[in-house]
Structure 1
């Protein structure tokens, strides 16, 4: 063994892909232990939900330097105990394809094997000896003839790669296989970017690659930073999947998405937004992150209170990236947050963050979390006369933590934000992030020269027809409507509206209906109907629709400060 040869050597064998099985050998050199615990991770960074990858591992065996088998006992889903490990030389085990419907997480968190390809997320394949996660290691791939390897690990040869630690090994997803996988590469600012595409249909990549260049270039320049080594985008396009999504890692991001049918609408597609989101994760949280993600305990559930900051701020920057680069209009940007705000989000983001190991990353982390980030951005700009912003916070966190390879304290994040921006969000946090109160959208958007309007339009709920004899007949009635509240019924014949007898001409009936439907929410309504030959008087008020019409629009005559804040958010820093 040379000084450069790591003491931990993995080999992944895929002899028959159709079997949905693979075999892993971990060879150890110079490791002397009285006993050892072999572990598979319980969870994966980026998804956080407990998966227990050991459930899809079996046939775990241990061998000494003479090739003699050593007794191994299983402790739980993810741990195996080797009692006499003084001469431990090898551990072998079998991995299985993990069916998408076997655990409620994204497919990118698992692994998937078919006759010609194998995608894996590192924790689903590679185990470790407890206490040795910081050891450098290598992995060799034994694959069917014609197969290739695409992974961000450091390449030694075509089928051998190196990692500086176990964390780096499992932080590197891989796509292995042959046709239909296609690979494309471009270089920006001296960094190679690889797009590896596994698709059941023909994918034309020209537009995708051009849009990706725009996103990558903008985010690199925002941080004045770029990947020092090659970066991989691993795409799996399948129409039959029940769950779609993506997963970030330091030097790669992996995707399971439906194939895009047209390049024409690609810039406004979910695919491009997800790409912008995952690439921004290269900084938040891959470069700057809480200490719980700096030295990872793969067996214990992750408990942090500000996961919303990781996912929500990143989603905000996905939207900002697309808008600032012109890939989407500011109208689409406004409408995205209008739709989020219309739901009146008031989830407790701290509680959702703490429970991620049980529930995964809740949708509110992205939606409410990104709206929260936008409002915090406006607050920073307003309180400092636009001197600091979310942009400057991101850059300063990268300089203070990311570039120095130093984690921040999750429990004191709000204090860290104050340190870097001078803005105290303690009250904001207690009310709107941890307190479950509805966000003060209107109040804060006004500081950026934006009007947030909520209009409850009338819910009429009547559907009628005019008979051959000139009678207005109720055809049907909707629930939660004015008609329902009045007591209108199907078959009623309307004889008067607002105490005025209904004419029998079509134009006259139309005029009365238009006058009725011009009434505002809360105004009085009086109808007279005939039901089963008897006259019935109906009285009430115009009922509001349950879901309001919401808009975010620019104030026509903003103050100089409002305009400055608004324009600085919309443009690149």
Structure 2
């Protein structure tokens, strides 16, 4: 009895003092993420640190991460952070801002512990893009974008990390990482991962779920698909044929380029009937991609969406994996300096995602041309005189953050025009894929370039006149004359005036519904028709009433459909909300039209070598 009493007192004393920490000086940061003992939908994380040679340090959770180009403040999801010295005594910490904590007397620091909340079941996901977010669903699914779970000490980002994840025995990790596992007890397995530095940890998401995984080889590369379907509607095998077809074609398109031996696709299909991930899309990583869609998506649409987004993300193995600047290689997660070359990282990647499909026979020439002209039309919704490098360098600022979508439009078109120019200068023998291969050979994933030296290197590898292309259309304010570039490959590009409905174009509405608030709003980045422009409508305006009839989530269809009966010359009024203020807009109806670019003619005859150049361009 006395022995039991001593043991109880001793345990109580130790629990008050905090965890016992080994005095051994490890050469790495050791992390434990506990997926077994989930409490209140939160995961416990502990980090054991090697000897810290600073009196005061700052512990950080990322403010932003590569690939998102947004400020997400992942420190918002950290709770109950504590620091302990080597003896297990709690140390004083001071929170500096949303993402940083100051720790004094840090030479004694042994461990930091905290709880992590997830984003998927938070209203509007806390503003975090779903594929960059996190999920904690005990015993079912854990979407671990690790930058949201694991932090770093400032100026110690290059320390090696050992990641130990304790998980229930029935769940299995989907990842591109190598790891080994060991049983802790009948209910817990520990997976152990090693990373050379913090960036590698952030660049390798892991998704835990009941195993639904498939893999296949394409050439020398292993492709892994790990799928989680919230209600079990889909299985990985349902998507296998489309994925094999797509990624085999991509690998064939890349030819000799072989940057990774394993690539993982982590696909999360959200339950639309509950508070779950609401966004859709993907986030690239060097050897993997996280993808989020709704289970409501039909298999046909899901297959095409997977092809589109995975195609784009996979081509990131070219850039920024193999070709990137110092700003990316030494990414500052809390005070990022952005590169000038989003035209390459995202734009050229998106261009390849379209080009490979026509090159490998997955779409027709006409379909490819239509997709590129759609990008021309969408890009015209942005200020076409802003230098692309300027927008890229300041993409996180208020002045330019809303232009990011244009990276996938004009950025891809820069890639297209550069490709055509390179083909023309080399008599069809060399294009932008060849250029990326050469850049990859010079740099590679461990040798970044200086931002201001990239164009010099491109000019050296290609042709002196390429400098003019960059100075005029990428660094300069001159809009790209797409018609002149397409004329080189026998295509005619002209504007065309098309009649539309008042609220629809080709059955696609100019308005959308905010699923969280129920507001009906005019879509951003849309070429509004002449009537809506005359009315003074702007993208983002919330529509409150039409001709005095209130508009709501449940009562918007009738007033909008009534517009199809309008005749030219009628008086019409909109009550809209813009930046929190209600405004009445009035005008008379006109026949609504939009002006769009169209490829009106494809020259089939040989004109100054245009047909032959087009064959080189599309077929390589």
- TM normalised by structure 2 equals 0.73
| Paired residues of 1:442 and 1:451 also in contact (CA < 8 A) | yes
Matched, 1:255 2:291: yes
Given candidates 432, 440, 462, the residue that maps to 1:421 is 462
Residue 337 of structure 1 corresponds to which residue in structure 2? 372
| CA pair 67-187 structure 1, distance change in 2 beyond 3 A | same
TM superposition shift of 1:428: 3.3
Matched, 1:55 2:76: yes
| Paired residues of 1:100 and 1:107 also in contact (CA < 8 A) | no
| Paired residues of 1:214 and 1:325 also in contact (CA < 8 A) | no
| CA pair 229-378 structure 1, distance change in 2 beyond 3 A | closer
**When the two structures are aligned, how many residues end up with a matched partner?**
492
| Paired residues of 1:63 and 1:90 also in contact (CA < 8 A) | yes
| CA pair 220-324 structure 1, distance change in 2 beyond 3 A | same
Write the mapping of 1:416-495 to structure 2, written as runs, cut at 5 A.
416-456=457-497
TM superposition shift of 1:321: 1.5
Residue 444 of structure 2 corresponds to which residue in structure 1? 402
Write the mapping of 1:165-184 to structure 2, written as runs, cut at 5 A.
165-178=197-210, 182-184=212-214
Is there any run of 5+ residues in structure 1 with no aligned partner, and where?
462-477, 482-541
Residue 142 of structure 1 corresponds to which residue in structure 2? 166
Residue 378 of structure 1 corresponds to which residue in structure 2? 420
Residue 615 of structure 2 corresponds to which residue in structure 1? 567
TM superposition shift of 1:318: 0.2
Write the mapping of 1:270-281 to structure 2, written as runs, cut at 5 A.
270-281=305-316
Give the secondary structure class of the aligned counterpart of 2:417.
helix
| CA pair 45-360 structure 1, distance change in 2 beyond 3 A | farther
TM superposition shift of 1:446: 0.7
TM superposition shift of 1:121: 1.3
Encode CA deviations 1:474-506: one digit per residue, 9 max, x unaligned.
xxxx9869xxxxxxxxxxxxxxxxxxxxxxxxx
Is there any run of 5+ residues in structure 2 with no aligned partner, and where?
1-21, 183-190, 503-528, 533-589
Residue 118 of structure 1 corresponds to which residue in structure 2? 142
Q: For residues 379 and 385 of structure 1, what CA distance do their matches in structure 2 show?
A: 10
Residue 238 of structure 1 corresponds to which residue in structure 2? 270
| Paired residues of 2:61 and 2:99 also in contact (CA < 8 A) | yes
Q: For residues 125 and 237 of structure 2, what CA distance do their matches in structure 1 show?
A: 36
| Paired residues of 2:459 and 2:467 also in contact (CA < 8 A) | no
TM superposition shift of 1:18: 6.9
| Paired residues of 2:158 and 2:198 also in contact (CA < 8 A) | yes
| Cα RMSD after superposing both structures | 3.1
| CA pair 237-452 structure 1, distance change in 2 beyond 3 A | same
Give the secondary structure class of the aligned counterpart of 1:24.
strand
Q: For residues 229 and 391 of structure 1, what CA distance do their matches in structure 2 show?
A: 20
| Paired residues of 2:51 and 2:107 also in contact (CA < 8 A) | no
| CA pair 239-364 structure 1, distance change in 2 beyond 3 A | farther
| CA pair 70-133 structure 1, distance change in 2 beyond 3 A | same
Matched, 1:156 2:180: yes
Q: For residues 88 and 324 of structure 1, what CA distance do their matches in structure 2 show?
A: 56
Matched, 1:286 2:321: yes
TM superposition shift of 1:419: 1.5
Encode CA deviations 1:214-264: one digit per residue, 9 max, x unaligned.
443444452523354432110012263542111111121111123485555
| Paired residues of 1:37 and 1:130 also in contact (CA < 8 A) | yes
- TM normalised by structure 1 equals 0.78
